[in-house]
């Protein structure tokens, strides 16, 4: 591998959702410029998915131990393994959870750029947090549940009880605000979104925060070239079953790498699916009493008696599912999702409408944006009930699934239209194509 090119060092956070879009961005950059080479510093020894995601030979991975403060390890890795093999270090591209690495860039005399794996509105929400803290000086409180927030990037007021639960936790709140406060120390923010999806958000952020660095929309970044990043024993069985189903007839239920439900809720989902009458592919993750994920459980033992027998041929239950490959399949007509940003972009890319079921983190904000502002999703739940174990009943699920699977709904038409716009954004003269090109020219400068 030739290492005489100008180098970028990517520092993603531990989450697989963050790593996937980070490596996709690295792939995209190397397709656009032969003058670049990229090193990715991975701080998760258990993650063997990285090389399968990289489609370009000029991406090198360096494994680092995960410790509370990685700055020393990161600087040492760059000095020992990157600088001797590069003509020039252009800068660091850091994840939102890695803003402490700005210090490493400063010590090495290079700029840092933020790669934001969420959408532009999500960026606006995070930028709002330090602003609010400067006014309030404390975390959010349950007593504020009835109030609403006016946040740059959102057209509608945001209910306080829609916020991520950790913002109500004193120990977790302040470190996170301090992370976000450093966004403005970067030389640019790269957002995994595109202008047609969030047309007014970037301009509203620039107006609201005059000290904000340049914002570049570079998405939608999806791992659609290397779909089989993970394999499971029933992967072929899943795809074979889909091949046998009519076009747009299957509702797909999948809730991300961390999404899981207790048995009472799983039973209600089963009842709802059966009552809806629609074909389904259901990725089941079971939560224990302490809300940890249980793998490899017997579905027959936890679902309503006779459910699997009654839905045989019409439904398919599994543990892990190849989400991108499933969404790309012509048999899939709807997606019941936790509304993680990667899942939203994937559903839009393939023109599959979402039924919202946010579970944690910023997913409720994503769901609100998709349903209330963009009209690109159907509402099942628009809150994650951070302090509640409320069960969504089967009748409600059945009704929502029927709406989701309507063939000629306005939402479905808008989703298909946005699919076309998202694909156009990445090709020559598209908004994201131009934005990426402008950033490449900026960082290369005279190198």
CATH classification at residue 337: 3.40.50.2000
Q: Which conformational region is residue 310 in: left (phi greater than 0), alpha (psi within -120 to 50 degrees), or beta?
A: alpha
Cα–Cα distance for residue pair 236/51, rounded to 1 Å: 22
Sign of the C-alpha dihedral, residues 302, 304, 309, 315? negative
Which entry of 44, 56, 81, 95 is annotated as an active-site residue? Answer: 95
Q: Is 95 a catalytic residue?
A: yes
Answer whether residue 97 is part of any domain: yes
Residue 346 pLDDT: 97
Same domain, 212 and 255: no
41 and 189 share one domain: yes
The answer on 269 and 191 residing in a single domain is: no
Number of helices (H), then strands (E), belonging to the chain: the values are 17, 17
If asked whether residues 85 and 43 sit together in one domain, one would say yes
| One-character DSSP codes across 224-288 | -SS--SS--TTHHHHHHHHHTSPTT-EEEEE-TTT--B-HHHHHHHHHHHHHHT-EEEEE--EE-
Same domain, 107 and 18: yes
Q: Dump the DSSP string for 25-69.
A: HHHHHHHH-TTEEEEEEE--TT---HHHH---TTEEEEE----S-
Same domain, 218 and 239: no
Q: Which residues pair with 92 in a beta bridge?
A: 9, 112
Same domain, yes or no: 271 and 202: no
In-domain check, residue 259? yes
pLDDT at position 256, please? 87
CA gyration radius, the chain:
22
Is residue 206 domain-shared with residue 288, that is, in the same domain? no
143, 170, 371 from 146: Cα distances, Å: 8, 20, 21
* Residues contacting residue 87 through CB under 8 Å, at least 6 positions apart: 4, 5, 6, 7, 447
Q: Are residues 398 and 312 in the same domain?
A: yes
Does any domain span residue 337? yes
Number of domains into which the chain is organized? 2
Domain assignment of residue 380, yes or no: yes
Tokens of 260: 């899981």
pLDDT of amino acid 45:
47
- Alpha carbon distances (Å) from 143 to 24, 136, 287, 360, 420: 42, 14, 29, 20, 44
pLDDT, position 1: 45
At 130 the three-state DSSP class reads helix
In a domain, 165, yes or no: no
Q: What is the pLDDT of residue 446?
A: 53
Cβ contact 246:331 at 8 Å:
yes
Instruction: Indicate if 394 and 430 belong to the same structural domain.
Output: no
Query: What letter would DSSP give residue 392?
Result: P
Please check whether residue 6 is in contact with residue 88, taking contact to mean a CB–CB distance below 8 angstroms: yes
- With respect to residue 104, please indicate whether it lies within any of the assigned structural domains: yes
β-strands 36-42, 6-11: how paired?
parallel
Counting as low any pLDDT under 50, the low residues of the chain are: 1, 45, 226-229
Predicted pLDDT at 229: 47
Question: How far apart are alpha carbons 417 and 408 in whole angstroms?
Answer: 13
Our answer to whether residue 200 is catalytic in this structure is no
In this structure, are 114 and 215 located in the same domain?
Answer: yes
**Domain encompassing residue 193:** 6-120+173-223+425-444
346 in a domain, yes or no?
Answer: yes
Q: Secondary structure of 304-336 in the HEC alphabet?
A: CCCHHHHCECCEEEECCCCHHHHHCCCCEEEEE
Is residue 138 assigned to a domain? no
The reported pLDDT for the residue numbered 258 is 80
Q: In terms of domains, do 336 and 383 share one?
A: yes
CB-based contacts of 14, cutoff 8 Å, min separation 6? 43, 44, 47, 66, 97
pLDDT at 53: 61
Residue 10, beta-bridge partner list: 40, 93
């Amino acid at each position: 591998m030739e290492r005489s090119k100008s180098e970028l060092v990517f520092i993603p956070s531990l989450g697989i959702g963050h790593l996937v879009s980070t490596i996709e961005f690295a792939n995209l950059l190397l397709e656009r410029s032969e003058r670049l080479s990229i090193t990715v510093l991975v701080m998760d020894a258990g993650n063997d998915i990285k090389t399968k995601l990289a489609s370009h030979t000029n991406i090198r991975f360096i494994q680092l131990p995960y410790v509370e403060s990685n700055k020393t390890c990161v600087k040492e890795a760059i000095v020992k393994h990157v600088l001797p093999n590069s003509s020039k270090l252009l800068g660091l591209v850091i994840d939102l959870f890695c803003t402490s690495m700005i210090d490493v860039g400063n010590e090495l005399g290079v700029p840092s750029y933020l790669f934001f794996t969420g959408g532009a509105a999500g960026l606006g929400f995070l930028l709002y947090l330090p602003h609010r803290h400067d006014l309030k000086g404390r975390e959010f409180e349950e007593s504020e549940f009835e109030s609403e927030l006016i946040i740059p990037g959102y057209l509608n007021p945001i209910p306080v009880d829609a916020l991520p639960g950790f913002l109500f936790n004193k120990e977790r709140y302040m470190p996170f605000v301090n992370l976000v406060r450093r966004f403005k120390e970067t030389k640019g923010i790269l957002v995994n979104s595109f202008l047609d999806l969030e047309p007014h958000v970037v301009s509203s952020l620039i107006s609201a925060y005059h000290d904000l660095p340049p914002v570049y929309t570079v998405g939608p970044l999806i791992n659609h070239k290397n779909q089989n990043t993970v394999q499971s024993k029933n992967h072929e069985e899943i795809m074979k079953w889909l091949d046998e189903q009519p076009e747009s007839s299957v509702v797909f239920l999948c809730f991300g790498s961390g999404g899981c439900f207790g048995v009472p809720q799983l039973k209600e989902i089963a009842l709802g699916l059966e009552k809806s009458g629609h074909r389904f592919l259901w990725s089941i993750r079971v939560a224990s009493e302490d809300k940890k994920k249980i793998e490899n459980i017997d579905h027959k033992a936890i679902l309503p008696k006779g459910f699997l027998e009654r839905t045989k041929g019409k439904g398919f239950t599994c543990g892990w599912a190849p989400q991108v490959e499933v969404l790309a399949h012509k048999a899939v007509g709807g997606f019941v999702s936790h509304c993680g940003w990667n899942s939203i972009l994937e559903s839009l890319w393939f023109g599959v409408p979402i039924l919202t079921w946010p579970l944690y983190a910023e997913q409720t904000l994503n769901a609100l944006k998709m349903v209330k502002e963009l009209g690109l999703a159907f509402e099942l739940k628009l809150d994650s009930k951070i302090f509640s174990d409320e069960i969504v009943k089967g009748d409600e699920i059945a009704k929502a699934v029927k709406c989701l699977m309507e063939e000629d709904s306005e939402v479905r038409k808008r989703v298909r239209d946005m699919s076309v716009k998202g694909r156009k954004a990445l090709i020559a003269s598209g908004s994201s194509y131009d934005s990426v090109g402008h950033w490449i020219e900026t960082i290369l400068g005279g190198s």
